[in-house]
Amino acid sequence: MESFSLNSAKSFLGKNVNLHLKDGAVIVNVQLTGIRKGDFGKGNLVEYVPYGNRKGDCVPLRNIAWAERLNLSLMQTAG
Protein backbone atom coordinates (compact mmCIF):
# COMPACT_ATOMS: atom_id res chain seq x y z
CA MET A 1 0.00 0.00 0.00
CA GLU A 2 1.39 3.41 -0.92
CA SER A 3 1.65 6.18 1.60
CA PHE A 4 -0.63 9.20 1.48
CA SER A 5 1.21 11.76 -0.63
CA LEU A 6 0.83 15.34 -1.82
CA ASN A 7 -0.75 14.11 -5.07
CA SER A 8 -3.22 11.97 -3.12
CA ALA A 9 -4.16 14.94 -0.96
CA LYS A 10 -4.71 17.13 -4.02
CA SER A 11 -7.12 14.59 -5.48
CA PHE A 12 -9.31 14.84 -2.34
CA LEU A 13 -9.50 18.68 -2.20
CA GLY A 14 -13.11 19.83 -1.94
CA LYS A 15 -14.31 16.31 -1.07
CA ASN A 16 -15.74 14.99 2.19
CA VAL A 17 -13.54 12.29 3.69
CA ASN A 18 -12.59 10.41 6.84
CA LEU A 19 -8.88 10.95 7.52
CA HIS A 20 -7.17 7.87 8.96
CA LEU A 21 -4.02 8.85 10.83
CA LYS A 22 -0.91 6.72 11.29
CA ASP A 23 -1.46 6.53 15.05
CA GLY A 24 -4.81 4.80 14.52
CA ALA A 25 -7.06 7.84 15.10
CA VAL A 26 -9.72 8.84 12.59
CA ILE A 27 -10.87 12.39 11.88
CA VAL A 28 -14.45 11.82 10.80
CA ASN A 29 -16.44 13.61 8.08
CA VAL A 30 -14.28 16.56 7.11
CA GLN A 31 -13.93 18.50 3.87
CA LEU A 32 -10.37 19.04 2.66
CA THR A 33 -9.97 22.72 1.84
CA GLY A 34 -6.30 23.23 1.06
CA ILE A 35 -2.66 22.32 1.33
CA ARG A 36 -0.01 24.70 2.59
CA LYS A 37 3.62 24.70 3.62
CA GLY A 38 4.30 24.20 7.31
CA ASP A 39 6.07 26.67 9.55
CA PHE A 40 9.66 27.35 8.54
CA GLY A 41 9.12 25.44 5.28
CA LYS A 42 9.09 22.02 6.96
CA GLY A 43 6.54 19.62 5.52
CA ASN A 44 3.04 20.23 4.22
CA LEU A 45 -0.16 20.74 6.18
CA VAL A 46 -3.58 19.55 5.00
CA GLU A 47 -6.35 21.98 5.92
CA TYR A 48 -9.85 20.69 6.64
CA VAL A 49 -13.23 21.88 7.88
CA PRO A 50 -15.50 19.55 9.90
CA TYR A 51 -18.96 19.03 8.38
CA GLY A 52 -21.36 21.73 9.63
CA ASN A 53 -18.56 23.97 10.97
CA ARG A 54 -16.87 27.07 9.61
CA LYS A 55 -13.69 26.93 11.67
CA GLY A 56 -11.01 24.82 10.08
CA ASP A 57 -7.95 23.04 11.35
CA CYS A 58 -4.93 21.35 9.83
CA VAL A 59 -2.93 18.17 10.20
CA PRO A 60 0.59 17.41 8.93
CA LEU A 61 0.53 15.44 5.69
CA ARG A 62 3.07 12.96 7.04
CA ASN A 63 0.64 11.96 9.85
CA ILE A 64 -2.10 10.81 7.44
CA ALA A 65 -2.11 7.12 6.53
CA TRP A 66 -5.02 7.26 4.07
CA ALA A 67 -8.33 8.99 3.32
CA GLU A 68 -11.74 7.41 2.80
CA ARG A 69 -14.13 9.31 0.53
CA LEU A 70 -17.68 9.78 1.84
CA ASN A 71 -21.00 9.88 0.00
CA LEU A 72 -23.02 12.57 1.79
CA SER A 73 -26.22 11.83 -0.13
CA LEU A 74 -26.47 8.46 1.66
CA MET A 75 -26.11 10.12 5.08
CA GLN A 76 -28.68 12.84 4.40
CA THR A 77 -31.43 10.40 3.35
CA ALA A 78 -30.96 8.21 6.43
CA GLY A 79 -32.37 10.82 8.82
User: pTM score, two decimals?
Assistant: 0.83
pLDDT of 13 reads 95
Burial letters 16-42, b for 16+ CB under 10 A, else e: bbebbeeeeeebebbbbeebeeeeeee
| pLDDT at 1 > cutoff 70 | no
- pLDDT tens digit string along 35-79? 999 887 788 999 999 988 889 999 999 999 999 999 867 665 555
More confident residue, 3 or 34: 34
In a domain, 44, yes or no: yes
The answer as to whether 49 is a domain residue is yes
For residue 41, give every residue at least 6 positions away whose Cβ sits within 8 Å of its Cβ, in sequence order, or none.
Answer: none
Average pLDDT over residues 15-36: 95
Residue 32's domain is classified under what CATH number? 2.30.30.100
Q: Is beta strand 64-69 parallel, antiparallel or unpaired with respect to 16-21?
A: antiparallel
Relative to beta strand 44-50, strand 26-37 is: antiparallel
Which residues have CB under 8 Å from 27's CB, separation 6+? 18, 19, 21, 48, 59
Instruction: For residue 18, give its domain range.
Output: 6-70
